[in-house]
């Protein structure tokens, strides 16, 4: 799964501290999803991931590739259901 995202972030102590809302970059006029809750976050070599619950009730894992300053969707799970695309 490699969907590129447009992400608006809160920048406090540092830039891109946490995502506030996102949309799929490849879909012109795609709906925006507000981040209702950050459930988890972790770091890897050159990236940071956020597991979030969005305004549609679904769970998303958003990956920020820090060197390229790009966001993509790593994982998606429907509310109360199975894993999806």
- List pLDDT tens digits, range 30-75: 899 999 999 999 999 999 999 999 999 999 999 999 889 899 999 9
How far apart are the C-alpha atoms of 35 and 19, rounded to whole Å? Answer: 7
Q: Is residue 84 part of a domain?
A: no
How many C-beta neighbours within 10 Å does residue 27 have?
Answer: 10
pLDDT in the model for residue 10: 86
Please check the confidence at residue 85 and state whether its pLDDT lies above 50.
no
Q: Tell me the pTM.
A: 0.84
Per the domain annotation, does 15 fall within a domain? yes
The full DSSP string for 9-68 is: EE-SSSTT-EEEEEEETTSTTPPPEEEEEEEEEEEETTEEEEEEEETTS-EEEEEEETTT
Q: Which domain holds residue 21?
A: 3-77
pLDDT-derived band at 11, boundaries 50, 70, 90: confident
Token digits of residue 39? 């459930």
pLDDT at 26: 78
DSSP 83: B
Number of separate domains in the chain:
1
Q: Is residue 85 part of a domain?
A: no
């Amino acid at each position: 799964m490699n969907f590129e995202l447009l992400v608006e972030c809160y920048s406090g102590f540092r830039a891109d501290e946490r995502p506030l809302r996102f949309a799929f970059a490849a879909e012109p006029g795609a709906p925006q999803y507000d981040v209702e809750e950050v459930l988890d976050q972790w770091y890897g070599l050159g990236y940071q991931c956020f597991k979030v619950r969005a305004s549609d009730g679904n769970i998303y894992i958003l990956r920020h590739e820090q060197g390229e300053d790009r966001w993509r969707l790593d994982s998606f799970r429907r509310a109360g259901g199975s894993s999806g695309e």
